[in-house]
């Protein structure tokens, strides 16, 4: 327990949300005072509920992305009959396993699950009575989180952050169990308790010497994925690939594409990638979670991104786009908070 506590508090990437975001809260409060609107940021992405700060529908956002860049996805309303789900999957070409199931409203990988067959999907449907998505599992090898924004009065897109994701893995030595290998890794050891509950038999396996075992296919930081700074890959050609997509997403000016592609070079040359999710105002420039990224630079980059959010808001305000009122914002927050409580 003491070891885990030390790991979490000695590494910024594991700090509690309230502690890591305290300086940001003060900055956003300052911008709200200048805007004279507490929820000024919601005007940045009018097409997304709350601008993408909380409670937004993932499916609503995916529908606004060019279909060529989105894996086959269906929306499943709470209480839908299982056979109706299977029929709908087949209608859109979701007829290969595995698939990904995830809440339509959620964050930080909550209840995102890789489903290997119909039985597992049935259990997911039974155990999670909520609106959710079923999405094709994208087999492409490289997972990225790419932050982009564009000013409402300009066609130019800026790519401001690239995070390269490395999912949780261990390498076998021919004698140690996966449990023992995880115990020897700071990052993996923080996930051990979850694996004891969700996949205890896996922990007893002994990988061959040199065998790399991917323990977690979902690329979320809270599931052990390492986020690495990939900003060195930003250039005009790569930016053009995202400009072509973001320019087609009406009334969305800021956010982060969570995607998979063949490689950086392939993305540059073809513009091809698949978007699992797009996150709005609440998204962070994920490269800041690189363990080697300097502490002061993390906050510099966070503040820089919120400066751009405020700039977009001011242009939107000039154009007559209004943010949520205080009453609307509070009501939406209450609804989202009650939703989260219902799932706990």
CATH (domain of 85): 3.30.1490.20
Q: How many CB atoms lie within 10 A of CB 151?
A: 17
Torsional class of 224: left (φ above 0), alpha (ψ -120 to 50), beta (otherwise): left
Contacts of 178 (CB under 8 A, 6+ apart): 170, 202, 203, 204, 205, 206, 207, 213, 215
CA dihedral 27→32→35→37, nearest 10 degrees, is 170
Q: Residues 302, 158: one domain?
A: yes
Q: How many CB atoms lie within 10 A of CB 102?
A: 22
Do the domain assignments include residue 9?
Answer: no
Do the domain assignments include residue 194?
Answer: yes
Strand-pair category, 132-136 with 99-103: antiparallel
pLDDT of residue 10: 76
Q: Residues 79, 148: one domain?
A: no
Q: Residues 89, 196: one domain?
A: no
Domain range enclosing 80: 72-137
Q: Residues 31, 63: one domain?
A: yes
Q: Residues 100, 124: one domain?
A: yes
What are the CB-based long-range contacts (under 8 Å, 24+) for 264-270?
A: 264/142, 264/230, 264/233, 264/238, 267/238, 267/241, 268/235, 268/237, 268/238, 268/241, 269/237
Q: Residues 302, 247: one domain?
A: yes
Q: Residues 24, 34: one domain?
A: yes
Please, are residues 182 and 192 in contact by the beta-carbon 8 Å criterion? yes
Domain boundary among 184, 215, 246: 215
Q: Residues 205, 153: one domain?
A: no
pLDDT of residue 11: 86
Q: How far apart are CA 145 and CA 312, in angstroms?
A: 21
Do the domain assignments include residue 234?
Answer: yes
Tens of pLDDT, residue by residue, the chain (344 residues): 666 777 777 788 888 888 889 999 999 999 999 999 999 999 999 999 999 999 999 999 999 999 999 999 999 999 999 999 999 999 999 989 999 999 999 887 788 999 999 999 999 999 999 999 999 999 999 999 999 999 999 989 999 999 999 999 999 999 999 999 999 998 999 999 999 998 999 999 999 999 999 999 888 888 899 999 999 999 999 999 999 999 999 999 999 999 999 999 999 999 999 999 999 999 999 999 999 999 999 999 999 999 999 999 999 999 999 999 999 999 999 999 998 888 76
Do the domain assignments include residue 98?
Answer: yes
Burial of 241 (0-12, 13-18, 19+ CB in 10 A): buried
Do the domain assignments include residue 10?
Answer: no
pLDDT of residue 13: 84
Q: Is 43 helix (H, G, I), strand (E, B) or coil?
A: helix
Q: Residues 316, 241: one domain?
A: yes
Domain boundary among 137, 158, 185: 137
Angle at 251 between CA 246 and CA 257, to 5 degrees: 35
Q: How far apart are CA 344 and CA 339, in angstroms?
A: 9
Q: Residues 331, 291: one domain?
A: yes
Torsional class of 41: left (φ above 0), alpha (ψ -120 to 50), beta (otherwise): alpha
pLDDT of residue 18: 86
Backbone angles phi, psi at 233, to 5 degrees: -85, -10
pLDDT of residue 7: 75
Do the domain assignments include residue 7?
Answer: no
Identify the helix (H) or strand (E) that includes residue 182: helix 178-183
Contacts of 95 (CB under 8 A, 6+ apart): 89
Strand-pair category, 254-261 with 142-150: antiparallel
For the packed helices 118-127 and 82-91, what is the interaxial angle rounded to 10 degrees? 130
What sign results for the dihedral spanned by CA atoms 196, 200, 205, 211? Answer: negative
pLDDT of residue 1: 63
Q: Residues 28, 144: one domain?
A: yes
Query: First vs last Cα of the chain: how many Å apart?
Result: 24
Q: How many CB atoms lie within 10 A of CB 131?
A: 19
Q: Residues 144, 290: one domain?
A: yes
Greatest extent of the chain over all pairs of C-alpha atoms, in Å: 66
Report the number of distinct structural domains present in the chain: 3
Domain boundary among 158, 192, 215: 215
Do the domain assignments include residue 94?
Answer: yes
Burial pattern 26-57, b for ≥16 Cβ within 10 A else e, equals ebbeebbeebebbbbbbbbbbbbbbbbbbbbb
């Amino acid at each position: 327990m003491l070891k885990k506590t030390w790991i979490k508090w000695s590494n910024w990437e594991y700090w509690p949300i309230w502690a890591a975001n305290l300086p940001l809260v003060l900055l956003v409060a300052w911008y709200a005072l200048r805007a004279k609107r507490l929820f000024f940021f919601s005007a940045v992405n009018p097409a997304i509920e709350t601008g993408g700060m909380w409670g937004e529908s993932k499916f609503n956002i995916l529908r606004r992305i060019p279909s060529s860049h989105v894996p086959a996805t269906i929306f499943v309303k709470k209480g839908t009959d299982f056979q109706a789900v299977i029929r709908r999957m087949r209608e859109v070409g979701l007829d290969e396993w595995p698939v990904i199931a995830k809440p339509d409203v959620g964050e930080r990988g909550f209840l995102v699950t890789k489903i290997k067959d119909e039985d597992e999907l049935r259990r997911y449907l039974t155990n999670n009575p909520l609106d959710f998505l079923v999405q094709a599992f994208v087999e492409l090898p490289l997972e990225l989180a790419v932050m982009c924004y564009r000013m409402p009065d300009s066609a130019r897109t800026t790519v401001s952050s690239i995070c390269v994701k490395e999912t949780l893995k261990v390498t076998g030595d021919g004698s140690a169990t996966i449990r023992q290998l995880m115990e020897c890794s700071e990052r993996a050891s923080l996930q051990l308790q979850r694996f004891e509950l969700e996949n205890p038999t896996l922990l007893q396996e002994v990988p061959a010497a040199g065998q790399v075992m991917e323990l977690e296919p979902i690329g979320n930081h809270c599931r052990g994925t390492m986020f690495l700074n990939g900003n060195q890959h930003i250039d005009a050609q790569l930016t053009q690939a995202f400009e072509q997509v973001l320019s087609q997403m009406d009334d969305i000016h800021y956010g982060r594409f969570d995607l998979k592609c063949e490689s950086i070079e392939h993305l540059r040359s073809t513009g091809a990638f698949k978007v699992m999710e797009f996150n709005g105002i609440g998204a962070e420039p994920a490269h800041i979670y690189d363990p080697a990224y300097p502490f002061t630079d993390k906050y510099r980059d966070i503040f820089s991104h919120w400066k751009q959010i405020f700039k977009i808001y001011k242009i939107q305000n000039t154009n007559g786009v209004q943010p949520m009122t205080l009453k609307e914002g509070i009501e939406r927050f209450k609804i989202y908070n009650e939703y989260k409580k219902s799932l706990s």
